[in-house]
Structure 1
């Protein structure tokens, strides 16, 4: 079963690197490959995301920007992350095969130079289901980051993040139409203890909100923690995020832009 991109969103993390002087630094192979791709030709695939802008609270003050570049060679995307001053602070280089992400390289951007920070590798089974995620960084050898577990209908029901003091879990349930109905965080052996519990709300087949109880008190009324809005093509056009730990004050909102 193909999992909705709104449901299973793989986030590229930017891991800090040790600062070095430019004239002492020798780029590694991944950094050289990124530079070659950035210098090369790009395409503008119709209907694909090319920019996301996040604003603070409910204001029009830009908090961060993500610009997506599509090199003309290979199934590759490059994400340029900028801060509120439009300065580049990080870059993500992502490789896909048959629309499934295979590798994701993260870079810090220091002294006008991309410095590799980490690489994530995604492993699939013979049915094309994501099974494991590994990470390697400048300070850490390749290690397991996450295990993905499915039910008999190939629906993702658990992501397990190994940790020294016990695995952390991300849990999912489904409704009768196989749509995600809820999610929460927990710990191995304490699956019924629900943290950051969210209920999914839909209009037709589009996810319109994730609802939370204030301060995770499941006996209280559930309110929107995240709202989703769509354009006429049913692509995500904007989303709003609210903080259930601070009276559901709006934390941010993001608008999304696509190639024609």
Structure 2
């Protein structure tokens, strides 16, 4: 995205923010911080992602757009999210430190105003491995969203999502080359019961090319592509396709990635 496009978004935001209507809420600290952030100049770092287009089903109709902005201040990335008519619907702000995300704020964009909805906080151990993810929303207080568990080789083997009466699990297995070979969902106490089982497939250059699933996520039967991945000459992800194993592997969406 060029700077001119960024400042067009900025003008739209602040035209809305400068209009005071009866019943309009006063911006909170994060909303004010976002307003100040959007005043900053931006850069176009070579090789970095700047736009993501998502298409519905197997059509060429754009469903949503995510434009990525790199303000020249700190280690921050801003995502402007638009719907199919190019109207802004949300803004995400991600704060990094030493290349690791620390906080992620999300704002709805309604009536020309950014309204804070949620914040995610990422916690790491002494090795720099992500250990815990917390979330706070406009309607719920700060709480644990996920625990991350690793094996002796520091490979992620399980993500634990606390629920009221236990925990949902996302489980990963690896091959001798330390590549993920499969993933599935389960529940604590029922680990042998695998849901949404996926098998990973790689190219000769070790790029992930597909995640395959049985019908309705079953472990048996013919496996078909639930996800397909494509890359450019620089081996950056250029597009992906998603298919629904629960509805005859109909295509759900296609996503394209663009870089500076």
1:202-217 pair list within 5 angstroms: 202-203=202-203, 204-217=205-218
- Please state which structure has a larger fraction of its residues in helix: 2
Residues 214-229 of structure 1: pairs in structure 2 closer than 5 A: 214-229=215-230
- What's the CA shift for 1:101? 0.5
Write the distance in 2 (CA, Å) between the matches of 1:139 and 1:61. Answer: 34
Higher relative CO (CA 8 A, sep ≥ 6), structure 1 or 2? 1
Which of 33-42 and 48-57 deviates more?
33-42
1:26 paired residue number? 26
Q: Give 3-state SS (helix, strand or coil) of 1:215's partner.
A: helix
Q: Name the CA shift for 1:154/1:236 in 2 (closer, same or farther; >3 Å).
A: same
Q: Which runs of 4+ in 1 moved over 2 A?
A: 21-24
How far off is 1:22 after superposition? 6.7
Question: What is the Cα-based RMSD across aligned positions, in Å?
Answer: 1.3
1-structure distance, mates of 2:217, 2:117: 34
Look up the SS of the partner of 2:120 in the other structure: strand
Residue-pair matches, total: 240
**What runs of 5+ residues in structure 1 fail to find an aligned partner?**
1-20
Distance in 2 (alpha carbons) for counterparts of 1:93 and 1:225: 30
Aligned: 1:252 with 2:247: no
Partners of 1:93 and 1:216 lie apart in 2 by 34
TM-score by length of 1: 0.90
Cα offset, 1:39, TM superposition: 1.9
Distance 1:24 1:247 in 2: 47
Runs of at least 5 residues in structure 2 that lack an aligned partner in the other structure:
1-20
2:14 is aligned to none
Deviation at 1:23, TM superposition (A): 5.4
Find the counterpart in structure 2 of residue 46 from structure 1. Answer: 46
Distance of aligned partners of 1:22 and 1:170 in 2 relative to their CA distance in 1, 3 Å threshold: farther
Q: Which residue of 1 aligns with 2:186?
A: 186
SS in 1 for 2:166: coil
Please state how far the C-alpha of 1:38 moved relative to its aligned partner. Answer: 1.4
3-state SS of 1:39 partner: coil
Query: Residue 24 of structure 1: CA displacement?
Result: 3.1
SS at match of 2:142: strand
Match of 1:233 in 2: 234
| 1: CA distance, partners of 2:24 / 2:255 | 39
Q: Aligned residue for 1:80?
A: 80
Structure showing greater radius of gyration is 2
For 1:153-168, list aligned pairs within 5 A. 153-168=153-168
What TM-score results when the alignment is normalised by the length of structure 2? 0.90
